[in-house]
Structure 1
Amino acid sequence: MMKKLNVLVAVVLSATMLFSCSQWQSMDNTKKGAAIGVGGGAAAGAVIGKVAGNTALGAILGAAIGGGAGAIIGKKMDKQAQEIKNEVPNATVERYEEGINVKFDAGVLFGFDKSDLSPVAQENIKNLATVLNKYPDTYVRVEGHTDAKGTDEYNMGLSQRRVNSVTAFLIKQGISADRIQGFAYGKTQPIATNDTEEGRAKNRRVEFSIFANDKMKADAKKEAGQ
């Protein structure tokens, strides 16, 4: 874990080199995360793609505030991550910095080439939403990804439809729409080889980034005396 975090720190440093100091300092944390995750230039995009596997971690890194307030947020995220692990057994849950990354293989949520949630998928997302509703002061980023089969246009559309399905279902479960950020990436962010069925299955996925909103950050800073 420490090695992975050290590499992620290197990603952040690499991304900052793509901007002038004045440009970087003028960006808020969310924009920094977007710059790191979405690309911030080809170099940062390549690094984050190889190391983190997706922009979900870029958003988490960009939202971190550090210091005592960051430690307070981290403890809250530890608790929430453990609850997700307990309540959503089909999810892969990982803690990074001041956020949580949750992955679902697309096969858990959707039929082949489908964008409507299966009954099992609805139960999984419902369980996730139950935990998310206990922690209203967070943003929830939803990302859709596909394997490399098919055209760029088709895969982008499929991933967008899947993001839309998950987002709509989360809202039905009581998650406020202004907490949710939806992004479709098609086949542009593989986390495994597309040369084998096993690898393609890993690439067909939906990911969630969970990180503090402004209220949680302000409360944490106040508690930390920052």
Structure 2
Amino acid sequence: MTTLVLDHPELLARTAIEASMAVKGEASTETSIGRPHRLRFHYGFNQHRLNDEDQDLLRQHAHWLKHNPGACLHIHGHADVFGVGEYNEFLSRLRASSAAKLMIFEGARENQILTSGWGSARPLARPEDHAANRRLELEYLNVDMARAL
């Protein structure tokens, strides 16, 4: 006999709900789609809109959030070191809020999404690697972490 031990709160809760629904004979509300794996997106110089392919991936994330109402997402916008610090902070916030608006338009709930704009304060690579630092990062949070923010 094999025993499955779940040490992940979200998986444990989902399994308990599904088991409860199975006992009651109800269908699961979960869809068979998995969460998209890509969590980092890059921008061109001085841009705040992603290309069509990246926007499609954000739509997939929104679709997953729509069907997983207990999930929370923190969207981090970043900029390179070109320009004045205040403008880079504005641009990074604009990147994060644009992504959030697209995802809400596609069905994600507003209370599932947090946004932050970091300007050039948190480079991914060396500051000289400008293209790598112009980015958007998605971070999925469990419910307790989201409430703490």
TM-score > 0.5, shorter chain as reference: yes
CA contact (8 A) 1:117 1:165 kept: no
Please state which structure has a larger fraction of its residues in helix: 1
Aligned to 2:137: 207
1:148 aligns to 2:81 (yes or no): yes
Q: Return the TM-score normalized by structure 1.
A: 0.48
* Alignment deviations for residues 95-141 of structure 1 (CA, whole Å, 9 cap, x no partner): xxxxxxx222x23xxx4312234323321211222222232201111
Aligned to 2:10: 73
In our comparison, the structure showing a higher alpha carbon Rg is 2
Structure 2 CA distance for aligned equivalents of residues 83 and 160 of structure 1 = 24
Aligned to 1:138: 71
1:176 aligns to 2:113 (yes or no): no
Q: Return the TM-score normalized by structure 2.
A: 0.70
Letter in 1 for 2:91: L
Identity %: 25
Letter in 2 for 1:84: P
Structure 2 CA distance for aligned equivalents of residues 76 and 162 of structure 1 = 33
Aligned to 1:63: none
1:118 aligns to 2:58 (yes or no): no
Which runs of no fewer than 5 residues in structure 1 stay unpaired? 1-67, 86-90, 92-101, 215-226
Q: Which runs of 4+ in 1 moved over 4 A?
A: 74-77
Query: How many pairs align?
Result: 122
**1:158 aligns to what SS in structure 2?**
helix
Which runs of no fewer than 5 residues in structure 2 stay unpaired? 15-31, 145-149
Work out which structure has the larger RCO, using CA pairs closer than 8 Å and 6 or more positions apart in sequence.
2
